[in-house]
Structure 1
Amino acid sequence: MATRSGSSSRTCVGKYELGRTLGEGTFAKVKFARHLETGENVAIKILDKDKVLKHKMIDQIKREISTMKLIVHPNVIRLYEVMASKTKIYIVMELVTGGELFDKIASRGRLKEDEARKYFQQLINAVDYCHSRGVYHRDLKPENLLLDGNGVLKVSDFGLSALPQQVRADGLLHTTCGTPNYVAPEVIDNKGYDGAKADLWSCGVILFVLMSGYLPFEDSNIVALYKKISKADFSCPPWFSSNAKKLIKRILDPNPLTGLVKRETRFTSKRPADEIISKIENAAMPLGFDVKKNNHKMKLRGEKTGRKGHLAVTTEVFQLAPSLCMVELRKSGGDTLEFHKFYNNLSTGLKDIIWNTTNEEKSDEKNGETAAAGPSTPCR
């Protein structure tokens, strides 16, 4: 695959001319390259097949390639193509020239909150997109966050990422990986974990590092470090704003159930069931939802395709007392975050019938459960 051409003995891989080495690791070398026809600059990761096979890395490499092909997002390093020769594997990627976000912290110390917020938002956008495609990074840290020439954040290194087929029957991942200081407590416990929640924990640690210039959990003794992580034993420095403190403490909660994004929500109403159903129908249709009614049950389906197909919501009205109904809205298809956005928009049109919202009671949030409103019977 690699050839030499011209009097200057240029080395080419396919239609790319190889240049200087940008980085080198145990299993791979990354080189600057230029497309001979378009002049576009790229980075090419070169892997030695013998080393990959010897160290049983072939599955990890395949996973990295499969993952990167799924992800096309402005805040994620783009994979263009993969080539191979008898001895090498060539992965052609987007060239990012601004260095690691880690270097920015190392040279300047902590970032101002506005700048940290900008990078954190870009990180969350990238991670949320990856999760919507069933991809979990599992090794998020500042060293894997690169910056382009315009200072735009790019998530890199999907070598440890997990694809949906790696999730076991219990719906959890079971491979302990990642960098210790950034790893979620449930990953350390080795009892299985939700890849999305584990990534979110790492994002919380990254935000802390960006704003403080140091790690929230650090100890030279690995056992002591894991104890600190398991108990979320950390404190925010005095210069953190109150909002930043609240956000970080919510993310760095050692109970993964607390941060559960619920797939259902409920509210109570003192209006008759027929009026409630009619109000929901009238509020949902302008939002672009088809409505199908069956007694006091409704099925709402979004007309537009979302991140995970069409959003589908099932609604049912329960009679709690002669003058009190509970309304349950449950996501039956599509993306959970889109479901919550839909509910927020829907509830705006239901203000005159909602008596109380029951899905945000503090006692239930602590248990990671959806609020229960006591014994109830479906309206018929």
Structure 2
Amino acid sequence: MSVVVGTPAWVVDTKHPLGEGGFGAVYRAKEHSPAQGQSARDAAAKLMLLKDPVNKESFNEEIRMLEKVKGHESIIEFYGKEVQGDKGWMFLEMATGGELFDRLIDSGSLSERAAWPYAKAICSALKHCYDSGVAHRDLKLENVMLSADDPNAVRLIDFGLAVSLNMKDGKVIETILDDNAGTQAYRAPEVYNRKGYSALKVDVWAMGIVLFSLCSGFFPVQEAKDDDWRYKRLAKDQSKKIGSCESIFKTYKRTCPFSPSLKALVDGMLTINPAKRLSIDEMCDSEWLANPPAQPIKSGGIVYRGVDGGDDDDMEEEFSVPDDAIPLERQRAKRLDPSALIDEGAGGMMVDEA
């Protein structure tokens, strides 16, 4: 079945959800009556329950964040909204290439050259968010969508946890938060500080998790607090001036396979002390992001993995994910049952499926 929602109207396919998350469900939609001379747009229709004031405020805040960050090629485009009773719909650009998470699962891990376009685009999107006064706060592999038309294009999605940053004279200034929003594997260490934390670098830490995972095939830590022994060891090593990449791979008795410039970037992003962590601008201006890896990089006799983007890994020894590393599957977000959201009162007229 389908639902006709809104004015102008969208036809929403409610039978086949594209996905569910902690804040709603997403369905495929098509523009019912496009403007004269225009083709009907496809859209992702996100349905949220607005039964209590908190959910309603979350719905309105996400739309406000999307409107603040509009206009960037790597951020999902917001088409419009519709509220009908206790159901809220938002209509977003349709990203047709699946999640970056699935791209990584299919490959196991990516060469530096394969990971570079994704990282470059995501970092650019994050900088645009910060320049617009927004912190995303839920950057993760599942929240980066790919395009079937352009294999290197990405769309940053899901601004449900995004917050406005304080601004002065058009520049972001210190913004203190006191919640622990985010996804477990990606939350920055300072989020757990009960006295409050700065919002300015939490997305840099999350980007470090994303980039490390893309190029290694596993997550560096389960959670950035002392309950996770891997994180506890990382903190101890950083106190001894040992970088994150060296520390994490040493945990598995491996040599870090990253090129020197990638290692420096990831070390800077996964610095536990936020005062010493790279800023958004420093991250975007890093040597590794400046130019796509094009040729094998040799240092001390080592040829770094996949730098030339060829079919084979460019290491002297074949790379493999350590058996006892944190597997990627354990970090996927939980999904909601779509039946909890869709019923006969889903906020629209029921029509037969085409």
Q: CA deviation at 1:12?
A: 1.1
- Which residue of 191, 200, 209 maps to 2:213? 209
Partner SS for 2:27? strand
Query: What CA distance in whole angstroms lies between the structure 2 residues aligned with 1:64 and 1:107?
Result: 31
Q: CA deviation at 1:205?
A: 1.2
Instruction: Structure 1: state its 5+ residue gaps.
Output: 1-8, 262-334, 341-380
Name the residue aligned to 2:265.
247
1:46 to 2:47 alignment? yes
Name the residue aligned to 1:18.
12
CA gap of 1:204–1:86, structure 2 versus 1, over 3 A, is same
1:29 to 2:25 alignment? yes
Name the residue aligned to 2:122.
123
Instruction: Structure 2: state its 5+ residue gaps.
Output: 35-39, 168-172, 239-243, 250-254, 286-354
CA gap of 1:190–1:229, structure 2 versus 1, over 3 A, is farther
Q: CA deviation at 1:212?
A: 0.2
Task: Give the total of aligned pairs.
Answer: 253
Query: What CA distance in whole angstroms lies between the structure 2 residues aligned with 1:258 and 1:24?
Result: 37
TM-score after normalising by structure 1: 0.60
Q: CA deviation at 1:116?
A: 1.0
Query: What CA distance in whole angstroms lies between the structure 2 residues aligned with 1:229 and 1:136?
Result: 26
Q: CA deviation at 1:228?
A: 4.7
Query: What CA distance in whole angstroms lies between the structure 1 residues aligned with 2:225 and 2:274?
Result: 24
Q: Which letter maps to 1:162? A: V
Higher relative contact order (CA 8 A, sep 6+): 2
Identity across matched positions, percent: 31
Tell me how large the CA RMSD over aligned residues is.
2.9
Q: Which aligned runs of 4 or more in structure 1 are off by greater than 4 angstroms?
A: 219-222, 228-233
Q: How does 1:1-380 map to 2 (within 5 A)?
A: 11-14=3-6, 15-19=9-13, 20-25=16-21, 27-38=23-34, 39-50=40-51, 53=52, 56-72=54-70, 73-149=72-148, 150-151=150-151, 152-164=153-165, 171-218=175-222, 223-225=227-229, 227-228=232-233, 230-231=235-236, 234-236=247-249, 237-259=255-277
Q: Is the 8 A contact 2:24 2:48 kept in 1?
A: yes
Q: CA deviation at 1:89?
A: 0.9
Query: What CA distance in whole angstroms lies between the structure 2 residues aligned with 1:123 and 1:336?
Result: 13
Q: CA deviation at 1:102?
A: 0.5
Greater Rg over alpha carbons, structure? 1
CA-to-partner distance for each residue in 1:218-261, whole Å, 9 max, x for gaps? 37997125535655664245321122112111221112112366
CA-to-partner distance for each residue in 1:283-305, whole Å, 9 max, x for gaps? xxxxxxxxxxxxxxxxxxxxxxx
Q: CA deviation at 1:170?
A: 6.8
CA gap of 1:218–1:18, structure 2 versus 1, over 3 A, is closer
Q: Is the 8 A contact 1:184 1:229 kept in 2?
A: no
CA-to-partner distance for each residue in 1:145-177, whole Å, 9 max, x for gaps? 1112223111111111111369xx973222212
Query: What CA distance in whole angstroms lies between the structure 1 residues aligned with 2:46 and 2:278?
Result: 37
Partner SS for 2:176? coil
